[in-house]
Amino acid sequence: MKLVVLACLAAVAVAAPQFPEDDPRHIAVLRDNRHDDGEGNYRYEFETENGISVNAEGRPGNVGQANVQGSYRFTLDDGTRVEVTYTADERGFVPESPIFPTSHPLPAHVPELLAIAAEQRRQGITFDEQGKRVTG
């Protein structure tokens, strides 16, 4: 099994495109800092000349997982700068960014309708599938 995994990794490395430095697709790495204490605590950060940057800091969690806090930044084709911060721990991966879509606010009448429905349930009023009042 290990040999198969090693062979796959070697195939990916050989197949990866290698761009010479004068090729416009070559992106230089401006910064690459890494630290790992061997006990599960680590930190890394890197930045490329096209504006991509990543940083993360991790430590062992109390239930066997890694607890990580980090961020990454990049620029969209339209020039919009995107930054995502995240945590990853026993609760899962939780990203945050102003670019993520958010739900629309409820129309003004919805809270009133929800209050009416709650009051009807409190009074024991029920309705059938067609919306006709059955009890209460």
pLDDT digits (tens, 9 = 90+) for 14-44: 555 666 667 777 888 999 999 999 998 999 9
Q: Are strands 133-135 and 126-127 parallel, antiparallel or unpaired?
A: antiparallel
Percent of all residues in the chain with a pLDDT value above 90, rounded to a whole number = 52
Q: Is pLDDT above 60 for 130?
A: yes
**Whether 27 and 61 share a structural domain:** yes
Residues 6+ apart with CB under 8 A from 104: none
**Whether 63 and 111 share a structural domain:** no
What pLDDT, in 10s, does the model give residues 62-85? 888 889 999 999 999 999 999 999
**Whether 92 and 126 share a structural domain:** no
**Whether 47 and 95 share a structural domain:** yes
Provide the sign of the torsion angle of the four alpha carbons 67, 71, 76, 78, taken in this order: positive
* Mean of pLDDT over the chain: 86
What confidence score (pLDDT) does residue 6 get? 53
Q: Is pLDDT above 90 for 134?
A: no
Q: How many domains does the chain have?
A: 2
Domain of residue 54 covers: 20-102
**Whether 81 and 91 share a structural domain:** yes
For the whole model, what pTM was predicted? Answer: 0.58
User: Considering only CA atoms, which of 86, 58, 59 is closest in space to residue 70?
Assistant: 86
Residue 105: pLDDT band (50, 70, 90) is: confident
**Whether 30 and 94 share a structural domain:** yes
Total Cβ atoms within 10 A of residue 20: 7
DSSP E strand stretches across 61-106 = 66-75, 81-89, 92-96
* pLDDT, mean of residues 113-134: 90
Helix (H) or strand (E) segment spanning residue 54: strand 53-60
Return the higher-pLDDT residue of 11 and 107: 107
Cα-flanking dihedrals φ and ψ of residue 96, to 5°? -140, 135
Span of 19-28, 50-59, 93-102 with lowest mean pLDDT: 19-28
Alpha-carbon gap, residue 67 to 45, rounded angstroms: 17
